Amino acid sequence: MKSYNHIIFDLDGTISDPGLGITNSIMYALKKFGMESERDNLYKFIGPPLRETFRNHFGFSRENAELAVKYYREYFSKKGIYENVLYPDMKELLQKLHSAGKRLYIATSKPLEYTLIILEHFEIRSNFTFISGSNMDGSMSEKSELIGRIAPIIGIEFFDKTIMVGDRVYDIEGAKHHKIDSAAVLYGYGDFLELKEAEPVYLIKSIEELSSFLLG
């Protein structure tokens, strides 16, 4: 396998498991519209932009999707943001990569404001060279745009030593847009078939395997 000096990470489902907080926040928002959903049906919405989820999967108009995001954030900003845990051994892996001289980045469709709070909460922010998150109004939420912010910092001449690590098809597609390699992790929220069909360069089964791959 190749050695990578620049590693771009997704956040949700890759570095941390936000399942409880995100699903609680979605259920809180849906309840405001008199709707209910089983938690197990909501995990697939971890990763895509929120407005897209409310419009495409729950049939909300643009106006109601904006309102749903507002309700979502009522819960998420106070409780849901902390109903989140780092994956086992992830903190140690990030520290080892940083100590080894790897340059680490984050590209997440989660708003930058929340992303920074989460990274500070887990005491891992200092490991990252640059953090690319979306805007609160929903703009800059496409993975290709988020990686695009990071690309000039890395430099196109180093793209052959750059990899995107994520758990959803959007991460793989964003990497392909910029012609950089990708690793799909199977311990997150992406479906195996979804990820396999996206054709990442690597499929990683566990954090242990990811650690061996990135540090090797």
Q: pLDDT tens, 76-130?
A: 999 999 999 999 999 999 999 999 999 999 999 999 999 999 999 999 999 999 9
* Cα-based distances in Å from 122 to 86, 92, 212: 7, 12, 23
Those residues with Cβ within 8 angstroms of residue 13's Cβ, 6 or more apart along the chain or in another chain: 46, 47, 166, 167, 168, 185, 188, 189, 190
Alpha helix positions (H), 47-111? 50-56, 62-76, 90-99
Q: What percent of the chain has pLDDT over 90?
A: 94
Query: Over the stretch 138-174, which tens digit does the pLDDT of each residue have?
Result: 899 999 999 999 999 999 999 999 999 999 999 999 9
Q: What predicted TM-score, i.e. pTM, was given to this entire model? A: 0.94
10, 12, 17, 167: the catalytic one is 10
Q: Which two tokens stand for residue 15?
A: 């570095």
Q: How far apart are CA 39 and CA 9, in angstroms?
A: 26
Known catalytic residue: 12? no
Q: Tokens at residue 94, please?
A: 């990030």
